[in-house]
Structure 1
Amino acid sequence: MSEGRYVVGVDLGTGGPKVALMTVGGELVGHERAKVGLILLPGGGAEQDPQEWWDAIVGCVRLAVERTGVDPGEVAAICMSSQWGGLVPVDAGGRHLHNALIWMDARGEAYSRALTSGGITVPGAGYNVRALREWITKSGGVPSRSGKDPVGQAQWLRHRRPEVYAASAYLLDVPEYLTMRLTGRAVAGFDTAVLRWCTDNRDPANVRYDADLARRVGLDVGKLPELVPPASVVGTLTAEAAAELGLGEHVRVVAGTGDTTAAAIGAGTVEDYAAHLYIGTSAWLSCHVPFKRTDVIRNVASLPAAVPERYWVATIQDVAGKAIDWLIENVVYPDDAMGDGRPPPADALERLNALAVTSPPGANGVVFAPWLNGERTPVDDAHVRGGWFGVSLDTSRADLVRAAFEGIALNARWMKEAVEKLVHAELPGGFRAVTYVGGGAQSDLWCQTLADVLGCTVRRAEDPVLANARGAAFLAAIGIGELAWADVPGLVRITREYEPDPTSAALHDKSYRTFTRMYRKVRGLYR
């Protein structure tokens, strides 16, 4: 049992951290959030400053404790969840030696393609047949040929920043970096280590590095963190971390996890085939399954989960809610010669929703593809680009805005169908409902649009924007023995259910056929 009554869950997204302060029984007491910057660089670079991450997290934790009046001595545990599929090179003390290369960074594409191809390759996929067989057999997945994972990022660092690579004691993913800042230990939960594609995942309770796979991906195992079970206590706060966070050195640290895992837990969807959809900066649709399986063509695989003896279905779409941010900042309220010099109003998203509902479902034939940074699921294509299609002289701004919301939903349907194909043998009817979390779930328009486009019930979880931080807090409580996995579904309330409107089904089906044909037509234009 714990020595305190509270736990802290941290969710470090691309836009910044959210922090949840919760009782050990799962009741939310307080929460805070902050923003961090994103550095986009030529050639597909996407970096962030790890110190900025840390400073923002420290500020949120301190503010949450202060505003709630919780005694810092009563905080028993903390768990970090975050964006992942990135790379933070650090020295032996955990100090970063370079900006983090985050999940969006594609500068390692050429190196990833060289590592994965050659000899006899799989038509349409480009992977070497022998290497592909070994990766799928052992790990269940394969390195992205787009370079957007720790394999491509490490190779870019090795070739383009050799002095940093040589000086690095560890090459950490983001949750591992944050855990090391807390404890001084370089550790990776079984669930976060897998995107290096050099672990043997055939037994989700006994994940290990594999020397042959490490050789294939060009990684030095000596620079990788120690593997530990998910939801396990890996230490207590260092004196330095405790002082910065304003917490006691007694606080236990539970192994960090990726945002996809935290979202599933925070949505309450920890039982087999219970699906959740997350829409924030990016999007994913996932569920837990009792098997390891891979669909190379659609870029979907099941990987070791934090839930004991289970796998989770791994998907990712590069741009989702970020497309709405782009629309607000670059089209509706631009900071350029056409603007008035003022930032977007605080209620910009609400205004956008109000405008969108004045356009009918189907946006008068306008279709938006949110491929503003390439795509990952169900196609691994770093080069494809999106935009509006079907625009005419009759098209209104409301049509363009509604099409943007619907386009993200159409992309999610494309992803949903890929996941349903993976689980078809066990779930032949597909998902009858998905639990919706993330910032997008705050919009009634988006919830109803998703139900209409996906063709299933959309269940909005309570405090959907806090799902990841809530999931991390649940993990902290589970790690110290205060909660059980069976408790989790009952701790998340569903505030509203949205049913598909049958009168718009044919319209959205037509838009979906146009949407998927668009990819096949435009993909060759951006090579």
Structure 2
Amino acid sequence: MSIVSGPLAWAATDRTDEGRTGAMIAQSGEFVLAVDLGTSGCKCALVAPDGTVNSWAFRPVALHIVDQLGAEQDPEDWWNALVGAAREALSALPAQARVIAVCCSSQGECTVAVDKSGKPLHRAMLWLDMRGAQQIRRRAGSGLLSIAGYEPLRLMRWIHRTGGAPALSGKDPAAHMAFIQETRPEIYEKTYKFLNALDYLNLRLTGRFVATVDSILTSWVTDNRDIANVHYDPKLIRQSGIDADKFPEIVRCTDLLGPLTPEAAQQLGLPQSTPVVAGAVDNSAAALGAGTIVDGETHIYIGTSSWIGAHVPFKKTDLSAQIASVPCALDGRYLATALQSSAGSNLSYLSNKLLFPDDEFGTPQPADFYAVVERIVASSPPGACGLLYTPWIFGERSPVDDSSLRAGLLNLSLHHSRADLIRAVLEGIALNTRWMLSPFIRFLGHPIKQVTLVGGGATSDAWCQIFADVLGVPVRQLVSSIQVNTIGAAFIGHVGLGKMKYNDLTTITRIRRTYTPDPATRNLYDERFEEFQLAYKRLAPFYKRINSKESRPS
């Protein structure tokens, strides 16, 4: 039986094709074993070339919060979750069918140092981890002259060549590696390669130390000006302060890495000859799984974190709003992305810490918590009776990069109900997305006519309508929203094997429903958005002051 939990798993089974579940039987006899390693856990699925999911399974992975600012996971837990979910998905492989490849997608901006044998030297630092903020700030800026905390020449070099720059909040591999180098020198000396989460999975599958063009991005050491020739830049490596030989070989997302290792084949129960395609990080995979491959077509992912993404033909950076177009899985295109630190993690916190805490009181948490949320939120009107929620539960990335921000409930009164609280959380995340959307539209250079909402949160009818009303544009809900990263990884696998082309996605993407904005509710949310922005202006200095003691690790 599948283990389904966490913010990415909105419901125990995905609603697909109006009644069919995750046990759909595909017509094709050839499947890619697609892997999606998210923060909450690992999903695996057998996916046909037309995107049909034959079977899928999920295993959770524990998250460890360390020193107030650190967020870690054990790479061995990643692998065990992959093996467990894969074996369950493979148990439903139809007779006469076969797995033609394995291809992974994963959470990005993670860092794990491994030795020459591939053994992890520490728990992985996740995209939430801010312990390297001090180290990266020192490397980003020095002297009297700075631009937004960066030394101008270094900033110009980063933006001109990579399309972005290290996050001063510390939430990317550039900061993680600097933190390890300065505070864990014994680990740094033993490090053979620094790997992202995707790179580590590929190492376990094939024995190769490689990074994809998108997984290496936030190490900020690659020249991305020619999208067909992403390569390491010696000046950027020197600027990083990290030894050049500690970075892995770069490959394209559709490259074949080779067959499974004997150990991986044995644990997965697949032939050793099964090829492994390099894959992509989650935002690249989601853009493909959403079917948004035409320039400017926009998707919004709602999982543990959230982002807005669209493929574009140009390399560009908006430093003020933390938006950039960067290398991705789609040939000849960049992916414009704006990242929101916390989305579904707010709901996970609400469930695990407040409503149904797993503590000494033994409060039972319902297995269908998110289905319960769907029912409860319907009893609260739009606007949550004046309750406003700011979803910055672990800092924010875009449109402001501020690690001191925190979540909060504003205007709470005795008359507010549990339904108001839950609706306020859903609305707060949507309002924060609207905050990101304005600079994103300017970045694209044209209005957005509609968005495709994907991820676990997109399986909620109520949340899809909230997004439509808050953003003021139609919102498309996919048939398999919760499996979008897995499906995207499968598409990369099929393209890598030559079984399909990316242009095929425009005809095989299946839409379950389109939600249109309600004019009356839209007016209400316009006012709500002004209050949300005012809350940021008033609270940002307060959070900066009260959390200044968190600017350095304990």
TM-score range, shorter chain: over 0.9
Match of 2:429 in 1: 408
AA in 1 matched with 2:45: A
Q: Name the residue aligned to 1:53.
A: 78
Alpha carbons 1:188, 1:256 under 8 Å: kept:
no
1:393 alignment counterpart: 414
TM-score, length of structure 1 as denominator length: 0.95
1:319 maps to what in 2? 342
User: What is the letter of the counterpart of residue 411 of structure 2?
Assistant: G
Does structure 1 residue 370 correspond to structure 2 residue 362?
no
Q: CA-to-partner distance for each residue in 1:211-260, whole Å, 9 max, x for gaps?
A: 11111122222011101122111211111111111111111111131011
Alignment map for 1:480-519 (pairs within 5 Å): 480-519=497-536
How many pairs were matched up? 517
Cα deviation for residue 333 of structure 1 reads: 1.6
For residues 478 and 50 of structure 2, the distance between their equivalents in structure 1, rounded to whole angstroms, comes to: 18
Q: Any residues of structure 2 matched to 1:262-411 within 5 Å, and which?
A: 262-336=285-359, 340-411=361-432
**1:98 aligned to 2:122?**
yes
Question: SS of the residue aligned with 1:192?
Answer: coil
SS at match of 1:34: strand
- In 2, are the aligned partners of 1:76 and 1:250 still within 8 Å (CA)? no
Q: Provide the rounded CA distance (Å) in 2 between the counterparts of 1:167 and 1:50.
A: 17
- Aligned-partner Cα distance in 2 for 1:25–1:394: 50
The residue aligned with 1:460 is: 477
Among 451, 458, 464, the residue aligned to 1:441: 458
Deviates more, 1:361-370 or 1:388-397: 388-397
Please report how far the alpha carbon of residue 442 of structure 1 lies from its aligned counterpart in structure 2 after TM superposition.
1.1
Instruction: Answer whether contact 1:43 1:106 (CA < 8 A) is retained.
Output: no
CA displacement, residues 156-211 of structure 1 (integer Å, 9 cap, x when unaligned) = 11122111111111000111111111111111111221111110000111001011
Query: Which secondary structure state, in structure 2, belongs to the residue aligned with residue 316 of structure 1?
Result: strand
Counterpart Cα distance in 2 of 1:372 and 1:229: 35
Partner of 2:247 in structure 1?
A: 224
Q: Does 1:33 align with 2:72?
A: no
User: Which residue among 153, 156, 175 is the counterpart of 2:179?
Assistant: 156
Structure 2: how far apart are the matches of 1:201 and 1:348? 43
Deviations 1:42-101 (A, max 9, x none): 1411000111110110111111111234568x2111111100101011112222111111
Q: Contact between 1:21 and 1:65, CA under 8 Å: does it hold in 2?
A: yes
Shift of residue 489, structure 1, vs aligned partner: 2.3
AA at the equivalent of 1:201: N
Worse overlay, 377-386 or 352-361: 352-361
Aligned to 1:16: 41
8 Å CA contact retained: 2:300, 2:306? yes
What are structure 1's unaligned runs of at least 5 residues?
none
Once structures 1 and 2 are overlaid, which stretch shifts more, 517-526 or 270-279? 517-526
Which deviations, in whole Å up to 9, do the C-alpha atoms of 1:486-510 show, x marking residues without a partner? Answer: 1122222001000000011121011
- DSSP-derived class of the 1:388 partner: strand
C-alpha RMSD of matched pairs (Å): 1.5
**Contact 1:278–1:437 (CA under 8 A) maintained in structure 2:** yes
Return 5+ residue gaps in structure 2 as ranges: 1-28, 545-554
1:457–1:444 Cα change, 3 Å = same
C-alpha separation between the residues in 2 aligned to 1:510 and 1:122? Answer: 36
Q: Structure 1 residue 351: deviation in Å?
A: 2.1
Change (3 A) 1:15 1:444: same
Deviations 1:342-371 (A, max 9, x none): 331112222222222211111111110010
Cα deviation for residue 122 of structure 1 reads 4.4
Counterpart secondary structure, 1:152:
helix
> Given the alignment, which residue of 529, 542, 547 partners 1:525?
542
